[in-house]
Amino acid sequence: MSAPIMPSVLLSRAAATVALVTAALAGTLVAPGLAQQASANPVSIRALKIAASKQGSPYRWGATGPYSFDCSGLTSYAFRKAGRRLPRTAAAQYYRTRHVSASARRPGDLVFFHHGGYVYHVGVYAGHNRIWHAPRTGTRVRLERIWTRHVWYGRVR
């Protein structure tokens, strides 16, 4: 026969469970898939966190931060602050990255939106089919679902 479990032990287990769940969920606000992607590049994860920290910054065409951004301005700013230099435009960033498949994408990878062979937008992959990006004039940096299948992924080396 096993020993009876004391109420204080049950309370301790419940408190530990709440603490673990809270810690796991806190990471999902920045990068919804971050908890399960321990193998992601540390530079890319830092860039992802930097991009997320710019939430609410206004979009301004040609802006590269630190207070306003366009799409490629946000990605180049985030990676520069994380220790990697990227070219200025979305298309040039695409050609500077190592291309990866959708099934191999990880938080911190770049997501390139394209029409045919023309890259017109970029954001930082946050996991669970979401990106941090500066969408367009009149909007602010935000976390948003990827809205099309016409995307390519690139990993900053």
Instruction: Please report, as a single letter, which amino acid is at residue 95.
Output: Y
Residue 36 banded pLDDT, cuts 50, 70, 90: very low
Catalytic residues: 71, 121, 133
Nearest-CA neighbor of 96 among 106, 86, 111, 104?
Answer: 86
What pLDDT, on the 0 to 100 scale, is given for residue 41? Answer: 86
pLDDT reported for residue 54? 98
| Distance from C-alpha of 19 to C-alpha of 132, rounded to nearest angstrom | 27
At residue 152, does pLDDT exceed 50?
Answer: yes
Residue 27: closest CA among 113, 126, 145: 126
Identify the residue with better confidence: 19 or 52.
52
User: What average pLDDT does range 24-31 have in this prediction?
Assistant: 48
Rounded mean pLDDT, 126-148: 98
The stretch 12-41 carries a mean pLDDT of 48
Annotate 6-54 with DSSP letters as a single string: PHHHHHHHHHHHHHHHHHHHHHHHH-TTGGG-TTS-HHHHHHHHHHHHT
